Structure 1
């Protein structure tokens, strides 16, 4: 076998186009513009030669290119972690102090002190100690362990929101504060802390409209006990 025969033998070949029904193979492409039909549908081997197919692709290609360009631009403008962090000039410690102080003037009769597993209290002490030492990741780990034992406790969820604020995860902090509000009493000190978290987040996002809304909801949390006659 000479060199020409070897090249011909091992020349890459395209795969045959399979017909829709098993056992039949189309070995030759149809002439341009020719359509063969199988049960009312165009044969897959000749679809690309159809003028209708070419006109559809002429319309779709620019649209697909524009969509791809938009998606690439969106991806390039998003942070790798998908999180929005606090600006470097924001004093996060002062922000969390303001959040916790927002409930100081709320009616103490609306406070709810749940009975909890002693292990939860131990994790809370660990989280508080880590926070004082500015070990915010350790504080987050401790509060996460506490939440595994009491996942729906609204005060624990708010505590986690404040730790997330200290870690710079503002979006997550606001989401947690809202979750705490939904599961909490929606009145009193905890409610005020929930909405003050949103106020501080919206201040960072430069969203004065919703900041004012959150502030109004915070003030509504500080209701007085009805006077009993």
Structure 2
């Protein structure tokens, strides 16, 4: 799982380039959907948080692998199809919902991106990397719709997602 997250961050950084802005809600007209996706995924990784992952259904894992392979090949229709099948098996999985939101974001499905990210947030832990990815996706979707106030409001939720792991001695 850690390798997958690191691969997404690396790919995201490669796609986003060094000059992409990540602050505020100044607008996304200068960011490509792939740059938005890279920033959403980077928002989910800090390396200092406690991250508890549930046991996963092997059938869902196969569909996740198919979605990863399709996305890596820029087959977003195939990735979305695999995620939709996984969601039939696990309809309340916040990770799958957020992933669908990210696919919608990269394919410029702004309303769907916001809808899936909102559902993911509602069903998820409301803390940590997933929470930051939810709100960053919502921010980009709102900016793309020209809703600067809504985007700024979404951005204000991101810092509240931080959670520090327990101190271990």
Shorter-normalised TM range: 0.7 to 0.9
Structure (1/2) with the larger helix percentage? 2
Instruction: Provide structure 2 residue ranges, at least 5 long, that are not aligned to the other structure.
Output: 1-27
Residue among 114, 117, 129 paired with 1:174: 114
- Is residue 103 of structure 1 aligned with residue 44 of structure 2? yes
Q: Deviations over 1:130-151 (max 9, x none)?
A: 1111111011001111111111
Alignment match, 1:142: 82
Q: So what's the TM-score if we normalise by structure 1?
A: 0.57
Instruction: Provide structure 1 residue ranges, at least 5 long, that are not aligned to the other structure.
Output: 1-86
If asked which structure has higher relative contact order (CA below 8 Å, sep 6+), I would say 2
Largest Rg, 1 or 2: 1
Alignment match, 1:94: 35
Across the aligned residues of Structure 1 and Structure 2, the Cα RMSD in angstroms comes to 2.1
Q: So what's the TM-score if we normalise by structure 2?
A: 0.77
After TM superposition, the runs of 4+ consecutive aligned structure 1 residues lying more than 6 A away are none
Alignment match, 1:34: none
Q: Secondary structure at the match of 1:108?
A: coil
How many equivalent pairs are there? Answer: 142
- Is residue 185 of structure 1 aligned with residue 125 of structure 2? yes
C-alpha spacing 1:211/1:88, structure 2 compared with 1 (3 Å): closer
Q: What CA distance in whole angstroms lies between the structure 2 residues aligned with 1:147 and 1:181? A: 15
Matches within 5 A, 1:96-135: 96-105=37-46, 107-109=48-50, 111-135=51-75
The CA deviation at 1:206 is 2.2
